[in-house]
Amino acid sequence: MKSEKFSFKAVRPRWIESKGDLQPDEKDYLDQTVEAYKRGEVVEFFETIHKDQWCYFNEKTKGIKGKVELNGPLQSSWPVDEHKQISVFVEYTYNKVVEVLTRRNQYPFQYKRKVSNLDKHFLVPYGSKREHERECMMQTLERLNVLDNSIYSRPKPDKTLQKHVDIGYTFPIRNENVKYRNIEGTNVHLAKQKYLYSQDKMLPALYDASKRVHCFVVLDNFPFNNELNMPTTEKFLWPVFFGVPFIYIGSEHQKESLRSWGFEPNDQSRTDVRSTTEQMMSLKSIFDDPKLAQQWQDSQGDLVIKNWKALQELPNKLRSV
């Protein structure tokens, strides 16, 4: 009897640092995926797909009818064989949206914010999933003191990851002083499964922090990596749900997903580490001037409401893809 589904789930633990290089271990698993497809099984790409992974799979299964399930839309420039029946469902984000919408009464919407109540520039949750793309961004912000008056989290240093962190064009000397931080400002290392994935524990801390900051910074997974089909993750939900202005740091594909869902950051997204750093430094100068800061907050009201309305409609949009 044929199995119902073949899930491409081994990608994250096995080659997250070199996804798409098609070395033997990666190619072997892709070959298993190809064979499952040829047997008539539904192939579920549970993890994010690299362009080279998709091209390899698509070419090896060309001309064969079958079903493929994805957790994020393919980029428009990627080849797609007409015989493939493809469905997309961003399940994790969908579940988070549905859950957070049930909590509206617990977290009053922050509209018409007064800068006299704001004593921090940015709120930047990083979490615990280490990627060299996010680490490049975070280390640059730290070393240029962009976050000197902000609330942010970051995982502890990882020696394996560090060798992939390339900020040499900005700092030729490697940063050896990476330190763990959490939003609460404690030294307790918060477990991903018990804390970061629990809205009961995470939302109160984020909400309290959001009431102190001028702007939320959504640092998404694999920012600026345009070779992945990584969808916009649930991270943008928090500022939209709280009613706090936000900027978005992500790939071109992720930004397109965000726009297609009806969301717009409160300052235009930049394209790389340097331009994003310059953007945040410019915003800091506004936030440090009470008059300019209040004008900036006041000018965000319509967009904050627009994004909130888009969030209410998002479950139906995600289900209809």
Using CA atoms, how far residue 85 sits from 37, 40, 263, in Å, is 12, 12, 28
Distance CA 205, CA 242 (A): 12
Same domain, 26 and 47: yes
The distance of Cα 312 from the centroid of its chain, to the nearest Å, equals 20
Same domain, 52 and 150: no
Domain finish residue from 88, 121, 156: 88
Residues 6+ apart with CB under 8 A from 108: none
Same domain, 124 and 74: no
Same domain, 62 and 104: no
Using CA atoms, how far residue 21 sits from 11, 15, 199, 219, in Å, is 12, 9, 36, 25
Phi first, then psi, for residue 99 (nearest 5°) are: -70, -45
Distance CA 68, CA 43 (A): 5
CA angle 172, 178, 180 (to 5 degrees): 160
Same domain, 60 and 178: no
Same domain, 51 and 111: no
Q: Which domain holds residue 159?
A: 93-319
Distance CA 243, CA 113 (A): 9
Dihedral of CA 13/14/16/20: which sign? negative
Same domain, 184 and 252: yes
- Per residue of the chain (321 residues), give pLDDT as tens: 344 555 554 343 344 445 677 878 788 888 988 998 998 888 888 778 899 999 999 999 999 999 999 988 888 899 999 999 999 988 889 999 999 999 999 999 998 899 999 999 999 999 767 778 898 899 899 989 999 999 999 888 777 766 667 666 667 666 777 888 888 887 776 665 455 667 778 899 999 999 999 999 999 998 998 999 988 889 999 999 999 999 999 999 999 999 999 999 999 999 999 999 999 999 999 999 999 999 999 999 999 999 999 999 999 988 765
Q: How do beta strands 213-219 and 42-45 pair?
A: unpaired
Number of folded domains that form the chain: 2
Domain finish residue from 88, 119, 139: 88
Distance CA 72, CA 234 (A): 13
Domain finish residue from 33, 61, 88: 88
Global confidence as pTM: 0.89
